[in-house]
A and B are shown apart, each in its own frame.
Chain A
Amino acid sequence: MAKPGSAALAGDRLLAYTTLAPSAFLLLLLSGVPTITVFVTATQSVSTGDSSGPFVGLDNFLWAIREPMFLTALWNTFVWVFGSVVIEMLLGLGLALLLNQSFKLRGAARAVILAPYLIPTVVAVLTWRYMLHDIVGILNVILLDLHIISHPLLWLNSPSLAMFTVIMVGVWKFFPFAVIAILGILQSIPQEQYEAARIDGASSFQQFWRITMPYILPVFLLTMLLRTIWTFHKFDIIYLMTGGGPLDATTTLPVLVYLKAFDDFEFGRAAAVALLTFAILAVLLAIYFVLIRKAEARQ
């Protein structure tokens, strides 16, 4: 069965499967088999470096849900995801609305706003860690000058502040994705919709709530979900900013998986945590797929 508009010829089937085979092979090797391996590993007591160990059933999972560290990481992950995504989406919406206006130098403004998203995470972390330095960091200097704070803040070294700091840097790095996604849909709203609304008597505020929001809502939600998924399993930015500390204040589930596997060398337990992480993610993924299908069906 060929796609409508494209004729299926003799030999097409062979061509299709032949060209897809290398991709399928690589994906099976790099995603399929590893996923199964994790399931196996999670049921074994195995230390990092060994390929297998004694079978222990669900012990690793039972350990995880009783382990305070796991619950801390779960809570941290929730704070990290919720804080990042909500701020990213609000900021993204605001700046997308701004960039949707036509004004001079808009291209330049867009380039600057997009820049954090394009630079490597390690660059973002380096720059911010210099800026967040307790003593020589420019952020403390500015805030002290403006009398917003009375003494230098320990941005990354205070357990109560570290998560806030990491979220701030994460938002700076990743919110442009929301800007671009929302800007894309904003620009697809036909101008006549607004003209009709203006003639019908709608104020700018009413135009936003009655035309813009309903129009962009599906894309807005989809973007939010996508950001939730990616923020959820984000590892490098947190690990590079704080290493999960101080006092585990920024240890999220992916960071915990890494620490278990490559600091504590408890590979089986790391695999169990990874699978629990994946289980939560799978729910989000399932919602994502349902929404995508709905959007496709509507077209």
Chain B
Amino acid sequence: MAHVEVRQVSKIFADHTAVSNVSLTTADGEFVVLLGPSGCGKTTLLRMIAGLELPTYGDVFIGDRRVTRLQPKDRNVAMVFQNYALYPHLSVYENIAFPLRVRGANNKLTDEKVKWAAELVGLTRLLKRKPRQMSGGERQRTALARSLVRDPQVFLLDEPLSNLDAKLRHSAREELRQFQDRVGVTSLYVTHDQVEAMGLGDRIVVMEAGSVRQIGTPEEIYLDPADTFVATFIGSPPMNLVAMGDITLGFRPEDLLPKAHFADTAAITQVTLNINRVEYLGGDRLLYGRVLGNFPDTAVVARLPSTVQYAPQLGVDLAFAVANPALRRFDTATGKALPRTVEAIGRKAAHG
């Protein structure tokens, strides 16, 4: 096991910059998720760590070894590809054995290791199958077993769940996390799916346009987004943003509640909400509307748990509120988060 460090790394392709000056360090055994929209450079970053791409600038360290120029095979990393990259002409057994075979391991050792890895991911009964005879989930587990079989120092996973259907994805996520806890190998996991990122990561690295926007635990990223990009990229529906001159006010949909819901003494900011549509989702309701009154007319969404007794009326100005601690402030010009000073916001809102 080893930590991974990326130091001032950039990757410039002929026609565009994929990664620009990124630095980050993971702890031993940590599960780090690289999250961002497609084309943000997260996969390129992962491929530079794997050794499939040479960084244009900067260095990559695994353990304390500088590996920037090493071939993938000399880095002792394992990678699970988006489409698993299983060898179609080999059986599951031979797929898992491949890394050992090319290293010239003897048959006895190979057999032991393959059976051990297959056992770990629950593939023991499918070892004779060919990849094309297996379901998406089984292929994913085969890829996992193959990456596992030679005790890598680092696991790299490139959207390994994106080819699974929604139901399977949930259980596979669960298995993946349990599995990582068991083997405890440092893992870097690329995804564009924030639910996956929140569920899996010890820490999340949010990337956009080749740069890192924020690094933090799922809680930190959700509760204290570093800028408006992170604020709107994380959370579904995203954080509501209301621009008020130099400052942009942000609050999560679940924090926008009917005023009656708060105790009289609570420190709240009043919001006038005019609802034009209600979406019933089972567990909660989404109220689509506009904030009016003291705020500039802006489209917002409120999320009301079904347990809250409330019958929303459409097209009428309603009294809603946000608890002051839940308010976030951003610099309108740069989008960067501003330090929390609750009173200031409350006053400004009250005075319009």
Contact = CB atoms under 8 A, between A and B. Distances in A.
Contacts of A192: 81-83, 85
A195 B82 CA distance: 12
A198 interface: yes
A203 B83 CA distance: 22
Contact of A199 (B78, B82, B87, B90): B78
B79 A196 contact: yes
A202 interface: yes
Contacts of A196: 79, 81, 85, 87
Contacts, number: 61
Interface string A187-215: 00010110111111111001000110011
Given A190-B83, A196-B79, A201 B103 contact: yes
A189 B194 CA distance: 32
B102 A200 contact: yes
Contacts of B83: 190, 192
Interface in B34-77: 50-52, 71-73, 77
B52 A200 contact: no
Contacts of A206: 102
Contacts of A195: 50, 52, 72, 79, 81, 85
Given A195-B52, A197-B102, A210-B102, A202 B89 contact: no
Contacts of A200: 73, 98-99, 102, 146, 150
Contacts of A203: 73, 102
Chain B CB within 10 Å, residue with most, of A200, A206, A210, A214: A200
A139 B238 CA distance: 76
Contacts of B90: 214
Given A192-B81, A197-B102, A202 B87 contact: no
Contacts of B102: 197, 200-203, 206, 210
Interface string A210-252: 1100110000000000000000000000000000000000000
A199 B72 contact: yes
Interface string B84-111: 0101111000000011011100000000
A199 B98 contact: no
Interface residues of B, number: 24
B189 to A, nearest CB: 16
B98 A210 contact: yes
B54 to A, nearest CB: 13
A196 B83 CA distance: 11
B89 A199 contact: no
A137 B87 CA distance: 51
A206 B98 CA distance: 11
Nearest to B143: A196
A193 B50 CA distance: 15
A25 B103 CA distance: 61
Nearest to B50: A199
Interface string B121-162: 000000000000000000000000010001000000000000
A214 B89 contact: yes
Chain B CB within 10 Å, residue with most, of A201, A202, A203, A214: A201
Contacts of B98: 197, 200, 202, 210
Interface in A167-196: 190, 192-193, 195-196
Interface of A: 190, 192-193, 195-203, 206, 210-211, 214-215
3 smallest CB-CB distances across A and B, nearest first, come from: A192-B85, A196-B85, A200-B99
Given A193-B85, A203-B73, A214-B90, 18 more contacts: A190-B85, A192-B82, A192-B85, A195-B52, A195-B85, A196-B79, A197-B87, A197-B98, A197-B102, A198-B71, A199-B79, A200-B102, A201-B99, A202-B98, A210-B98, A210-B101, A214-B87, A215-B88
28 contacts: A190-B83, A192-B83, A193-B85, A195-B52, A195-B72, A195-B79, A195-B81, A195-B85, A196-B81, A196-B87, A197-B87, A198-B71, A198-B73, A199-B52, A199-B73, A199-B77, A199-B79, A200-B73, A200-B102, A200-B146, A201-B73, A202-B73, A202-B98, A202-B102, A203-B73, A203-B102, A214-B87, A215-B88
